[in-house]
Structure 1
Amino acid sequence: MTPVDVTPAVEILDAAKSVTILCHVQPDADTIGSGLALAQVLRRRGVPVVVSFAEPAELPVSMRSLPATDLLVRADQVPREVDVLVSVDCGAAGRLGSLRDRLDSAAKTLVIDHHRSNTRFGQVNVVDEAAESTAGVIARILDAWGEPIDRDIAHCLFAGLVTDTGSFKWTRPGSHTLAERLLATGIDGAAITRTLMDTHPFAWLPMLSKVLGSAQLVPDAAHGAGLVYAVVRREDTESVRSEEVESIIDLIRTTAEAQVAAVFKESRSEAEHWTVSLRSHANHDGTPGVDVACVATALGGGGHRYAAGYSTTGTTTDLLTNLLRTLGSP
């Protein structure tokens, strides 16, 4: 596959007089790391820049050790008008949450992403579906721009790379090459990975016990591929951070009897408002498995073939019924 041309991104960033960088709601390390890496370069060039996300109100604890978090501002502090608005790792305008209205007042909008389901909602869209992470796309943009990747920028990019590859379980050609290059700046890859992916408060354990106890298997779902799902209710998450909730899908997906995994996560602020994480995998013979990006898109979300999600409302019965209908039955 021919690499996506990143020149349009370089051109718009090179001419920018002020920049707002928006990450998606419930941010992960790829969106935050990509946003902070790019913001550091713009600050180095003397361009006024801020980074933000709509929700939750605070940056997840696991990401607070990333460099340049001083460039993050609350959602209500994001300028109403800006020369260039950049969206990073966001497949659709809706994933910007309450900040999507900033798209309309920006002079120019740039979308940088790697999700196949991206709706190309910017005036300029640099979407590389072959990239394993948006951090990898940012690295290519910086190279084309002639901007060096120093240790702090490498830290942010490595955070995005290691999380979106699941500690390099799901890599693409070039993933390890980029990792080696970033590690060569002197960052501590093991410490970054441990902080982001392998450190949880004790409250995670009883929450996990309760949620995993709700898991159900529907073996005939998805035309016989099988579905395993779990429900995370708002009262289950009172003592844990958002990243603890997000980690559940990686345990549910290990079920051998189901190719598709789903976790229904109820909003902490609104009853019966949910975000849904979907995962699948290739068949054992190497042929493509269930495309959960198509499933998520049909339900108002998006993502990758094997990792996607969407937001919805209703009872758990409604959620399951709609998901099963979209997945298909034998």
Structure 2
Amino acid sequence: MTTNESAAGEADWRRATELISAAGTVALACHVSPDGDALGSMLGLGLALAATGRKVVASFGDRVFAVPRLLRFLPGQHLLVEPSAYPAEPDLMITFDASTMERLGLLAPHAGKARELLVIDHHVSNTRFGTVHLVDPGAASTTMVVEELLNRLGLPVDREVATCLYAGLVTDTGSFRHSITTPAAHAMAGRLLATGLRPEEIARELWDRSPFAYLRVLGTALGRAALEPDAAGGLGLVWTYVSRADRAAEGLPYDEVEGVIDVVRRVDEAEVAVVLKEDDEGGWNVSTRSKGAVDVARACAALGGGGHARAAGFSSALSVADTMAALRPLLAPEGSRS
């Protein structure tokens, strides 16, 4: 169905299905500040496994444990537990959409103590930090890898599972607009739609809703946006930031500013777009986007992050100015690196 066979290898698939089939309890974890692909892939597999009678716990390692508002429509959230209630030494732990163990946040120590750690991901930057790896950089989303796993396990995909998987698929393909979109992604969407899920409702939750406070904060961010035509090898850089004070002035939670990058990236004069977002603890999470000439995943990986060639990110404890100073020289176009 996907390119998973060549990416993961049959030995990995065989071992993964053996581990899950033998498990009575499964501990699931996705990356911190989960997006639709991370949470959707985790809850999709969790629902399917719980339907077989297995005990399933799922979590993500944020200090402030809260599902982002735009993802609260996803089924399966009864499986979620706070990190403090997560098994300390799971017999089988499965991670989703996390390219490094550090991306698991508070759950990284649990992963380090798991007897078996199955890593499910589609990032080319994945560090293979588990004991078994289902990593397919050719897949448009981690939910594509999960769908293949469910098929190999012989588990059905009902409408609730499909809703979770579809949310991840449309999140990472940008509703099938990004270059990562493949014929296999469209074929999977067709299979999921056949379960009776409502794509218009999912689209509304993901992209067509926001509180009024978001418009105020967005206006502030756009008002300070900077265009640097000579950056990124002369291809142009546009960037801005959203501070904790900006959000506090309007009472806007952190997870509501994820969409700012999708507005900033539209600028014609810039190859690369960057948005820095200050979290509630004072750290900066940096989102980067490229139109294709600059590999932002490589740039972000050099700063401890990762992602895809056209969409990546990293975290920074530096100031806005120092973070941008560290990032700018890494944004050279492909073919112009010394």
The reply to whether residue 36 of structure 1 matches residue 43 of structure 2 is yes
Question: Given the alignment of the two structures, is residue 302 of structure 1 paired with residue 306 of structure 2, yes or no?
Answer: yes
Give unmatched runs, 5+ long, in structure 2: none
**Cα distance in 1, alignment partners of residues 203 and 31 from structure 2:** 21
1:32 is displaced (CA, Å) by 0.5
| DSSP 3-state at the match of 1:186 | coil
Q: Which residue pairs with 1:286 in the alignment?
A: none
- 1:249 matched to 2:253: no
* Deviation, structure 1 residue 3: 5.1
SS state of the match for residue 94, structure 1? Answer: helix
Query: Which 4+ runs in 1 deviate beyond 3 A?
Result: 1-8
* Aligned-pair CA distance for 1:276: 0.5
- After the TM superposition, which residues 9-88 of structure 1 pair with which residues of structure 2 at under 5 Å, given as runs? 9-55=16-62, 56-88=64-96
- Give the Cα separation in 1 of the matches to 2:319 and 2:48: 45
Structure 2 CA distance for aligned equivalents of residues 240 and 15 of structure 1 = 45
Q: Distance in 1 between matches of 2:124 and 2:321?
A: 29
Residue matched to 1:172: 182
* Aligned residue in 2 for 1:118: 126
Q: CA deviation at 1:244?
A: 2.1
Contact 1:232 1:263 in 2 (8 A): yes
Paired residues for 1:277-292 under 5 Å: 277-282=287-292, 289-292=293-296
- Paired position in structure 1 for 2:207: 197
In structure 2, what is the equivalent of residue 267 of structure 1?
A: 279
Report the Cα offset of residue 300 of structure 1. Answer: 0.5
Aligned AA for 1:237?
R
CA distance in 2, matches of 1:188, 1:321: 44
Measure the CA separation in 1 of the matches of 2:272 and 2:23: 43
Q: Which of 313, 317, 322 is residue 313 of structure 1 equivalent to?
A: 317
Structure 1, unpaired ranges of 5+: 283-288
Letter in 1 for 2:217: M
Is the partner of 1:118 in helix, strand or coil?
Answer: coil
Report the TM-score when normalising by structure 1. 0.94
Give the SS at the match of 1:174.
Answer: helix
- Return the alpha-carbon distance in structure 2 between the equivalents of residues 53 and 302 of structure 1: 18
Whichever residue aligns with residue 296 of structure 1, its letter is C
| Structure 2 contact 297–311 (Cα < 8 Å) conserved | yes
Tell me the secondary structure at the aligned position of residue 279 of structure 1.
Answer: strand
8 A contact 1:237–1:268 mirrored in 2: no
Look up the equivalent residue of 1:269 and give its one-letter code. E
The separation in 2 between residues aligned to 1:90 and 1:47, in whole angstroms, is: 24
**Match of 2:284, SS?**
strand
Counterpart CA distance in 1 for 2:7 and 2:102 is 27
What amino acid sits opposite 2:138 in the alignment? Answer: A
> Given that residues 17 and 83 in structure 1 are in contact (C-alpha distance below 8 angstroms), is that contact kept between their aligned partners in structure 2?
no
One-letter code aligned to 1:313 = A
Find the residue that maps to 1:50 and give its secondary structure: strand
Sort the Cα spacing of 1:243 and 1:193 in 2 relative to 1 into closer, same or farther, 3 A. farther
Task: State the SS of the aligned residue for 1:255.
Answer: coil
Tell me: CA distance 1:268–1:208, structure 2 relative to 1, closer, same or farther (3 Å). same
What is the CA-CA distance between 1:76 and the residue it aligns to?
A: 1.1
- Residue identity matched to 2:270: A
Task: Give the root-mean-square deviation of aligned CA atoms.
Answer: 1.5
**What's the CA shift for 1:243?**
3.4
What TM-score results when the alignment is normalised by the length of structure 2? 0.92
Aligned residue pairs total 322
Distance in 1 (CA, whole Å) between partners of 2:259 and 2:45 is 26
Distance (Å, rounded) in 2 between the aligned partners of 1:8 and 1:246: 36
1-side partners of 2:240 and 2:48: how far apart?
A: 41
Deviating more after overlay: 31-40 vs 214-223: 214-223
Identity among equivalent positions (%) equals 45
